[in-house]
């Protein structure tokens, strides 16, 4: 393993500034960690003087993104997840990155692609359809999270899936909210 | 089963089901770790009501600060349960409180009205 020296620390600092990252976490995203990260999101609201209705939307998006990682991400010591908060030119960014088993890659990708083809009315329609479909189900996963994120962000959802080994992919997800 | 109460936490809403005073309330934040377990208890409790055992008009107040998408699914189930009780002759006057700038919370209440085909009074609260 390559050693971590002061120069790489300098480079990391430069990249964080260049990429407009306001906060970056790498580690397991457990239920307890979710609560801490949500508090950090709330602290950023004051720092950036974000108005009340947008605060609610961003908080909502952050919860759904973090719950997606804690519920669906594959955790393990060498395959930690990441969570970031960014802000650039009037846009607030919530980003997550986590390992997924590649047997879910296709369905996740097609769900996101479908969501990205829909306008607000289309999203509302599938949200209601999903809600009705789910009436008989006891699963905690309502399948509503990504639709909800798209509705509240009012922007297309950015994602990328990169293979990391034979059975697993890395899922990078970014939600942009115009301030 | 006169009164059923749960204290609110950072992740779960406060719940008061008070048969004696005919007032029901769910309020606060809702993102339980196990949403199904949390709400099934409430749905089961309501499911035991019937017109032979309870009489009169009841008030049901929803006042969420925040609810995650998983909770919104189970709240819909709970509202459908209220609709079934209505068919059985137990009438609930349902109030959906939302902070005035929180358009999303308002729209969610309106969606429940449409999806469950039930009257829900939308009440905005100034912040």
Output DSSP code: residue A3: -
pLDDT at A76: 60
- Number of structural domains, chain A? 1
> If interface means Cβ-Cβ distance under 8 Å, which residues of chain A face chain B?
31, 35, 51-53, 56-57, 59-60, 63-64, 67, 124, 127-128, 131-132, 134-135, 138-142, 144-145, 147-148, 151-152
Residue A1: inside a domain, yes or no? Answer: no
Residue B79 Cα, gap to closest chain A Cα (Å): 11
The model's confidence at residue A5, banded by pLDDT at 50, 70 and 90, is confident
Is residue A96, in this structure, part of any structural domain at all? yes
Tell which residue, A93, A112, A52, has the closest CA to residue B103: A52
Looking at every residue in chain A, the average pLDDT score rounds to 90
pLDDT tens-digit profile of A38-86? 999 999 998 888 999 899 999 999 999 999 998 877 766 456 899 999 9
ipTM computed for the complex:
0.90
Nearest by CB to A148, which of B69, B80, B101?
B69
CATH number for the domain including A106? Answer: 3.30.565.10
Q: Distance (Å, rounded) from C-alpha B37 to C-alpha A143?
A: 18
Residue B25 φ/ψ region, left for φ over 0, alpha for ψ in the -120 to 50 degree band, beta for the rest: beta
Between A1 and B105, residue with greater pLDDT = B105
Domain hosting residue A36, numbered range: 6-178
**A135 and B76 in contact by Cβ < 8 A?**
yes
Chain A contact for B43, CB < 8 A?
no
Confidence label for B25 from pLDDT (cuts 50, 70 and 90): very high
Average pLDDT over residues A139-167: 92
The DSSP code sequence of B47-104 is HT--TTT--SEEEEEEEEEEE-HHHHHHHHHHHHHHHHHHHTT-EEEEEEEEETT-HH
Distance CA B23, CA B113 (A): 20
Q: In terms of Cα–Cα distance, which of A116, A100, A82, A95 is closest to A163?
A: A100
pLDDT confidence tier of residue B51, bands split at 50, 70 and 90: confident
Which tokens hold the place of A2? 């390559």
Per-residue model confidence (pLDDT) at position A148: 95
Distance of CA A153 to the CA centre of its chain: 12
pLDDT for the residue A93:
95
């Amino acid at each position: 393993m390559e050693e971590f020296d002061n120069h790489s620390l300098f480079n990391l600092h430069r990249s964080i500034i260049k990429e407009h990252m306001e906060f970056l976490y790498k580690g397991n995203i457990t239920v307890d960690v979710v609560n801490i990260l949500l508090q950090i999101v709330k602290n950023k609201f004051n720092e950036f003087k974000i108005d009340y209705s947008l605060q609610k939307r961003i908080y909502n998006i952050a919860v759904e993104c973090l719950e997606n990682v804690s519920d669906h991400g594959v955790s393990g010591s060498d395959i930690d997840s990441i969570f970031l908060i960014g802000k650039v030119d009037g846009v607030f960014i919530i980003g997550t990155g986590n390992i997924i088993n590649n047997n879910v890659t296709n369905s996740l990708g097609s769900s996101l692609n479908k969501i990205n083809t829909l306008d607000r009315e289309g999203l509302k329609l599938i949200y209601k359809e999903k809600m009705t479909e789910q009436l008989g189900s006891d699963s905690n996963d309502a399948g509503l999270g990504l639709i909800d994120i798209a509705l509240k962000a009012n922007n297309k959802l950015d994602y990328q899936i990169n293979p990391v080994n034979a059975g697993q992919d890395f899922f990078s997800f970014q939600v942009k909210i115009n301030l | 089963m006169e009164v059923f109460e749960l204290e609110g936490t950072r992740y779960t809403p406060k719940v008061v089901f008070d048969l004696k005073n005919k007032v029901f309330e769910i309020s606060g934040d809702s993102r339980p770790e196990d949403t199904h377990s949390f709400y099934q208890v409430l749905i089961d409790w309501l499911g035991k009501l019937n017109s032979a055992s309870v009489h009169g008009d009841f008030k049901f107040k929803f006042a969420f600060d925040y609810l995650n998408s998983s909770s919104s699914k189970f709240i819909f189930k709970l509202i459908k349960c209220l609709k079934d009780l209505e068919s059985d002759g137990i009438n609930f006057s349902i109030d959906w409180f939302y902070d005035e700038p929180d358009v999303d919370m308002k729209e969610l209440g309106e969606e429940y009205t449409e999806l469950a085909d039930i009257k829900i009074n939308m009440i905005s609260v100034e912040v």
